[in-house]
Amino acid sequence: MPYLIDITGNLNGLQSVLQQVHDKMIVHCSELIGTSAAIAGFGALWWVADYIWTRLARAEKIEAIHLLRPFAVGLAILNFSVVIQVIDGVMEPTVAGTAAIFDDSNQAVATLLQQRQDALQKSTDWQMYVNSTGGGDLDKWEELSGQADSGMLSGISNRLKFQMARASYDMRNSVKVWLSEILQVLFESASLCINTVRTFYLVILAILGPLALAFSVYKGFENNLVHWLSHYLHVFLWLPVANIFGSLLGPIPQEMIRLEINQLNASGQTTFGPTDAAYIIFLVMGIVGYFTVPSVTHYIIRAGGIGARMWRNRLT
């Protein structure tokens, strides 16, 4: 179990490494500002010329507010690094708030795992078959089993019986631990996988963001700005939603570990049973559930529809 705690801690530590990678790569979003500004500048001239010519041809009045949009977008492109910092600054509290909930759940699990380890080491079977030396205590086994060593042959027989009993104990106590550790690592890895893909998407969207804004200046691509912002916020929320999902599943392993501690205190042994099967099933469901996080965020951020078309019609 200490091994599981170390693995979980290392996997959680990789989350901060991904954040460092994000902060290091996000600065490259300024490299396309010059090219994007040129594209947006040509689009602004095209926009203004098309708008004025159309209004004059229809003998309609020219409203200056419609001429400001391409220049506002161009200003956002020239200060795109600041724009990204503002967006990240506004959204970052959602990550910090949900991470605190998730960390509390992980800390509770780590505390219970340590209590389980303490209860295991206090059990008579552990002291008899494992002990601090790892080889068990033959004298204690002979004392508790009532098979005293009365000669060379009985001594050899007792040693053989002790090793067989010790192997049986290790098998009963290890199968569940190995299986739960493997699934727990996969469970933590699913969260890390979501954050890794999220970091990649955010960096790509940030670096190519100036181009997305530049093309939104052209007529027919006005919605590009809304879609880019929607996709950026959508991907940004992957980690908060994953943290909430992990915190919701947190009480499940906590209750399973408590049941195991009670089993150890009562019998000194921990064997595979119905509660352990349920725990493994929930871990499998959690691993699958993590990969539904991107679709869940569609319920939070979604651009398009009638509102977007009405906004576009107001600008044309």
Alpha-carbon 173 to chain mean position: 30
Position 316 scores a pLDDT of 46
Tell me whether residue 72 is exposed, middle or buried, using C-beta atoms within 10 angstroms of its C-beta: 0 to 12, 13 to 18, 19 or more.
Answer: exposed
CA angle (272, 273, 275) in 5-degree steps: 120
Count CA atoms closer than 13 A to 247's CA, side-chain side.
Answer: 14
CA distance 277 to 285: 12
Query: Predicted confidence band at 311 (pLDDT cuts at 50, 70, 90)?
Result: very low
- Is residue 240 within 8 A of residue 95, CB to CB? The reply is yes
Per-residue pLDDT tens digits for 67-118:
778 888 888 888 888 889 899 899 989 888 888 877 777 677 778 777 877 7
**Does the global pTM surpass 0.75?**
no
Residue 66 to residue 47: CA distance in whole angstroms: 10
Question: What value does the mean pLDDT of the chain take?
Answer: 75
Q: How far apart are the first and last CA of the chain?
A: 64
State the average pLDDT over residues 197-218. Answer: 89
Question: Is residue 63 classed as helix, strand or coil in its secondary structure?
Answer: coil
Band (pLDDT 50/70/90 cuts) for residue 43 is confident
Residue appearing with tokens 């494992």: 130
pLDDT confidence tier of residue 308, bands split at 50, 70 and 90? very low
285 vs 276, higher pLDDT: 285
* Helix (H) / strand (E) containing 203: helix 152-207
